[in-house]
């Protein structure tokens, strides 16, 4: 029994049809698999983003507290500087007044004035 050209053509068309069906099925399977992987990756990415957002909020909250503490420390340092300046000015004036009184008394007693070194 020999095959005619027509038989070979029919066999070729049948093979092409079978191959197309198999490739279509394989493509559908691959597509479904890829879609599932993309969905899982998306879920993981969204979860990671959510975790990062939470961490950022915590960092921002800590920074806000740190800013409050720094502002408080700055205000306290400014107040201390002001108080220290007043104290130094007071003692400088007091020291100068005492020096003047000592020298006045020494002059009245006929003693030589003292030169005070800083």
**Which pLDDT tens digits describe the chain residue by residue (118 residues)?**
688 888 888 888 888 888 888 888 888 888 888 999 999 999 999 999 999 999 999 999 889 888 999 999 999 999 999 999 999 988 888 888 888 899 899 999 998 888 877 5
The whole-model pTM stands at 0.45
Confidence (pLDDT) at 18: 86
Residue partners of 102: CB distance under 8 A and separation at least 6: 114
Confidence (pLDDT) at 118: 58
Q: Where do the H-state alpha helices sit in the chain?
A: 5-108
Quick count: other Cβ atoms within 10 Å of Cβ 112?
8
Confidence (pLDDT) at 3: 80
Task: Give the Cα separation of 84 and 76 in Å (integer).
Answer: 12
* Greatest alpha-carbon span in the chain: 155
């Amino acid at each position: 029994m020999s095959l005619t050209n027509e038989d070979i053509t029919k066999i070729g068309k049948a093979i092409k049809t079978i191959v197309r069906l198999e490739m279509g099925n394989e493509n559908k399977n691959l597509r479904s698999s890829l879609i599932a992987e993309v969905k899982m990756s998306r879920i993981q990415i969204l979860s990671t983003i959510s975790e990062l957002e939470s961490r950022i909020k915590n960092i921002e909250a800590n920074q806000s507290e740190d800013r409050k503490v720094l502002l408080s420390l700055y205000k306290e340092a400014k107040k201390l500087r002001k108080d220290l300046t007043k104290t130094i000015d007071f003692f400088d004036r007091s020291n100068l007044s005492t020096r003047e009184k000592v020298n006045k008394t020494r002059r009245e007693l006929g003693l030589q004035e003292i030169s005070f070194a800083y």
